[in-house]
Amino acid sequence: MHRGYEALLGCLVAAVIIGVVVIFCHLRRKTYKIKASKRDIEVTAASVEYEEVTCKEMSIKEIYSATGNLHLSNIIGQGIAGKVYRGMLANGWPVAVKHIIKNEHAETFLREVTSLSHVRHPNLVSLRGYCDGQDECFLVYELCINGNLSEWLFGKDKNLTWNRRLQIALGSACGLWFLHRYPEGCIVHRDIKPTNILLGADMEPKLADFGLSRVMDIGVSHVSSEVRGTFGYVDPEYRHNHRVNAAGDVYSFGMVLLQLLSGKRAINIMNTAKPMSLDKMASMLIREGNVLEFADPRLNGEYSLEAFDLSLKLALSCTGHKQQRPSMEQVVSRLEKALEVSMRDDDKHSTISIVESFA
């Protein structure tokens, strides 16, 4: 009788715990769906959250004061256009200051100011100010304290969980979607890659470096331009026809998504005789039935197989022929589905683990 009572009590406790887990999971999914349903509002009216942040012209004195006179200890990066310094504005805002030699990269400065001075979105780095000197100029951005995506994908002492990778992909896609449907004309970034995806305090992704960006007037399908961008991320069709359009950004994003899935570089340079791009490697593994070999070993198998499959198919559709590529709106929708599937699978595993612990 006593044992029967204990068994009954154990079952009741297990049932209560399982019920609590189910309710928690339901609420978490509900919260996620509410956020997802508001995403379109965020994309069309993203500037509301950033109304208090304005881009202003700054003096050389302010720049040097913020960076300790461009002290070497404050250097946090080096780009083609110049060094990047950590700084602190007089109002207490931590910033990243890009130093540009005007004679060599004046065009980069003008494009960044034009593209970012009035554009605000949670997934775009915020331009806080700029300084246009006679021989040198500066761009002052918000400081993203967790560095860039490349450091997390390829750094020895850093790693990203599966859900975090999906969240970074989704946030980056939202930033690109916002640019492509900007009311004053489609903004094509032209240099989407892991080093240009910065990570904020909560690991939220922010697209950066608009030095190659182009704005297309409403109703225009493309603009002609010399081929610019980073090897491994440039749309092959753009290399041939020199036509800049949103589809080029979709291709570059697809390459980044493949890197989030695999933890590999965009181009396999280990085989110098015949280097293979990441999309071709993924397609080959799929044909051979070895798709799981594409997954980043640092994930330790801790990912949703269904969500991984959805994400891989999406990435390959982004790097496919231009006419068959999805829009960034479609990319966002499919990544939301993959993240929801991944969260659902996590909930199932959590429930099973609890049940097994009482078995």
Q: Which DSSP category does 117 fall into? A: S
The Cα 147–Cα 145 span in angstroms is 6
pLDDT of residue 31: 46
Mean pLDDT computed over 214-238: 74
Give φ, ψ of 142 to 5 degrees.
-60, 150
In sequence order, the 6+-apart residues with CB closer than 8 A to the CB of 142 are: 53, 93, 94, 95, 96, 125, 126, 128, 206
The Cα 140–Cα 43 span in angstroms is 24
pLDDT of residue 115: 73
Find out whether 341 and 307 touch, Cβ atoms under 8 Å. yes
pLDDT of residue 72: 95
Which residue in the list 157, 191, 217, 309 is annotated as catalytic? 191
pLDDT at 219 over 60: no
Class of domain 54-142: alpha beta
pLDDT of residue 346: 78
Cβ atoms within 10 A of the Cβ of 228, count?
A: 14
pLDDT at 159 over 60: yes
Whose tokens are 């995806």? That residue is 197
Mean pLDDT computed over 328-340: 98
pLDDT in tens, 77-110: 887 778 999 999 999 999 999 998 877 667 778 8
191 tagged catalytic: yes
| Residue 317, both tokens | 């559709």
The single-letter code of the amino acid at 6 is E
Nearest partner of 166 among 315, 329, 327, judged by Cα: 315
Nearest partner of 256 among 136, 150, 104, judged by Cα: 150
Find out whether 207 and 125 touch, Cβ atoms under 8 Å. yes
Q: Where are the domains of the chain?
A: 54-142, 149-345
Q: Over the chain, what is the mean pLDDT?
A: 83
pLDDT in tens, 115-125: 777 888 999 99
Mean pLDDT computed over 67-75: 96
Find out whether 166 and 176 touch, Cβ atoms under 8 Å. no
pLDDT of residue 77: 87
Helix (H) or strand (E) holding 198: strand 197-199
pLDDT at 213 over 80: yes
pLDDT of residue 114: 76
Which homologous superfamily does the CATH classification assign to the domain defined by 149-345? Transferase(Phosphotransferase) domain 1 (1.10.510.10)
pLDDT of residue 32: 45
Find out whether 292 and 357 touch, Cβ atoms under 8 Å. no
pLDDT of residue 51: 42
pLDDT in tens, 270-317: 555 667 889 999 999 999 999 999 999 999 999 999 999 999 999 999
